[in-house]
Structure 1
Amino acid sequence: MEKHVLELLARTIGYMTIIRVLIAICRWVWATFLRPAKNLKEYGSWALVTGSTDGIGKALAFELASKGLHLILVSRNSTKLKATADEIHGRYGSGVQVRTVVIDFSRDSLEVIGKRIEEGIEGLDVGILINNVGMCNSWPRFFHEADCMADEIIKVNVEGTSRVTKAVLPSMLIKKKGAIVNIGSGSAEILQSFPLLSVYAATKAYIHQFSRSLYVEYKQHGIDVQCQVPLFVATKILPMTLPSFLAPTPEVYSEACLRWIGYEPVCLPYWLHSFQGSLVHAMPKGFLGWVALKYCLHLRKVEKPTVFEQVMKRENEPLFNVLE
């Protein structure tokens, strides 16, 4: 009798586990491939994008313009801002208006950042904010080797993102609608530890928690807050030959990003990143930390000038995360 009961219990647990997995798979397929994207223009006619002259930020700006949204582009390089604005005008014509705001997130004070954002959006129906600007170490370093760049990473990733959000929120609260998208990183959300890039990963962990908390705070006011988590994306600082199936181009990635706006507080928009993330979550955290350490130690052995340092010299832009 006891054996029969145990067998029945084991079968029940097995069936429940299978059903639970099937439900999770169905939800993933629905959200990733079948769920309709929201009409982003219902949030407002303008979108503000920080870090908008390269990589994911630039691709997102073009993708938003393709949906008929007017753009406020924010970056510290005025020349690249003008070039990006001209490209958008050239592709979409006069139907898309573009404003530019010059901000150096690593050097300008929080007061200056807030004032320029507020001036840049004055009188505009800003419905979407994309906090994409981010900075990473110029090279993997142990924490005791960290230079002043660690302070700049905190200033750009934490203080800059927070201040821009604070500047844009009041206008969204007045009309009781809006969407805020913060670009996170797999270094914090998936790996949960990233040795030799510890300050960077910690700032992205802040972004994740910041987004989750604001999602709860402002959902009742009609404002959707979301943290989108990229893994590898084929940006110019990625130290390997890409794009590939695992690392989409910024254009492919940004198209996936827009489909998720307005839904879950945290997501991995690109379907293969989401699949990878599920596999990684099942691995022991100690093993993941060891893999991340070995990866960063390998990067330190690459012949200099490194990919990171070349970009630093060539581009007057904050760097985006290694796991973008």
Structure 2
Amino acid sequence: MSFLRQEPAAPAWFLSLAFLGTLYASAVSFRLLAYLALCLRRPKDLRRRYGAWAVVTGPTSGIGRSVALELASRGLNLVLVDLDADNLREISNTIRSHHAVQTKTVVFDLSLVSTAQGDEALRRLREAVAGLDVGVLVNNAGVAKPGAVYLREADVEACVRLMRVNLWAVTEVTAAVLPGMVERGRGAVVNMGSASSEAIPSFPLYTMYAATKRYVAQFSRSLYVEYRSEGIDVQFQVIYIARYMFDA
């Protein structure tokens, strides 16, 4: 007679949950290791990889200001584009007082794109970057108003301003800077997006804003495919919640 007791086999549902739990833990561990590797990796030499200059729109406050200061700390000279001359002067002086880089400023109200005034400002931008080794473009400037409003109640002029800044300006500024990148065979375009168009299925009361950011997402994806053979990276940053990167 045997005194060894056999344990009953685990039920199928328990094995299934254990398997799913293992997969989830493995996925979390992989993401954590990837994040640690990214943190420990030496920063890229952006100047050597892409070029000596960067163009940043909306650099006077918020994310745009932080990006401009970070690029300056990495040794890139900056072409700063914003609608307010005084604010541009302030950020330009701040950058040069902290970092040994050059700056240029272009006063450009991006809400006037596709108007006579906007065409003149775009001409000044093209002149400002002509002959420069522009390797990075950051399309940061954006408008969120009108917000928290039904579309039928939204101010038409505000909607047009939003579309001009979030859609047309991103396209026009990119088209102005890209030819030089193609000629040099290197460059990076960074477009700022929003979780409102990527992380959630809809964003009611901010319909126009979410729709314009969806355009920026598709614009970035298609631009990456269009120009990756030219040595140009394209990156679409979804602020706060997620990040989709399209670079080689």
| TM-score of the pair, normalised by structure 1 | 0.65
Task: State the one-letter code of the partner of 1:124.
Answer: L
Task: State the one-letter code of the partner of 1:118.
Answer: R
Structure 2 partner of 1:128: 136
2:111 matches 1:106 = yes
Deviations 1:201-239 (A, max 9, x none): 11111111111221222222111110112138xxxxxxx
Instruction: From the superposition, tell whether residues 7 and 113 of structure 1 become closer, same or farther in structure 2 (CA, over 3 Å).
Output: same
Structure 2 partner of 1:238: none
Query: How far apart, CA to CA, are the structure 2 residues paired with 1:219 and 1:49?
Result: 21
Structure 2 partner of 1:315: none
Q: 1:86 aligns with which of 83, 93, 98?
A: 93
Q: Which has the larger radius of gyration?
A: 2
Identify, as 1 or 2, the structure richer in strand: 2
What is the aligned residue count?
232
Structure 2 partner of 1:170: 179
Structure 1 partner of 2:149: 141
Q: Percent identity?
A: 42
Task: State the one-letter code of the partner of 1:99.
Answer: K
Equivalent residues in 2 for 1:12-23 (5 A)? Answer: 13-14=19-20, 15-16=22-23, 18-23=25-30
Structure 2 partner of 1:265: 246
Unaligned runs of 5+ in 1: 233-259, 267-324
Structure 1 partner of 2:168: 159
Equivalent residues in 2 for 1:169-248 (5 A)? Answer: 169-231=178-240
Instruction: From the superposition, tell whether residues 22 and 86 of structure 1 become closer, same or farther in structure 2 (CA, over 3 Å).
Output: closer
Q: Relative CO higher for 1 or 2, CA cutoff 8 Å, sep ≥ 6?
A: 1
Q: Mean alpha-carbon deviation: is it higher for 176-185 or for 137-146?
A: 137-146
Q: 2:67 aligns with which of 60, 64, 72?
A: 60
User: Alpha-carbon deviation of 1:80?
Assistant: 1.3
Query: How far apart, CA to CA, are the structure 2 residues paired with 1:133 and 1:11?
Result: 47
Q: 1:97 aligns with which of 82, 94, 102?
A: 102
Whether the 8 Å contact between 1:113 and 1:160 is mirrored in structure 2 is no
Structure 2 partner of 1:46: 53
User: Alpha-carbon deviation of 1:144?
Assistant: 0.8
Whether the 8 Å contact between 1:180 and 1:224 is mirrored in structure 2 is yes
Secondary structure class of the residue paired with 1:106: helix
Task: State the one-letter code of the partner of 1:224.
Answer: D
Task: State the one-letter code of the partner of 2:103.
Answer: V
Secondary structure class of the residue paired with 1:88: helix
Unaligned runs of 5+ in 2: 1-8
Query: How far apart, CA to CA, are the structure 2 residues paired with 1:173 and 1:200?
Result: 31
Whether the 8 Å contact between 1:133 and 1:157 is mirrored in structure 2 is yes
Query: How far apart, CA to CA, are the structure 1 residues paired with 2:212 and 2:225?
Result: 20
Q: 2:77 aligns with which of 59, 70, 73?
A: 70
Whether the 8 Å contact between 2:146 and 2:206 is mirrored in structure 1 is no
Q: Which runs of 4+ in 1 moved over 6 A?
A: 6-9
Task: State the one-letter code of the partner of 2:67.
Answer: L
| TM-score of the pair, normalised by structure 2 | 0.83
Whether the 8 Å contact between 2:53 and 2:134 is mirrored in structure 1 is yes
Whether the 8 Å contact between 1:186 and 1:229 is mirrored in structure 2 is yes
Instruction: From the superposition, tell whether residues 8 and 86 of structure 1 become closer, same or farther in structure 2 (CA, over 3 Å).
Output: closer
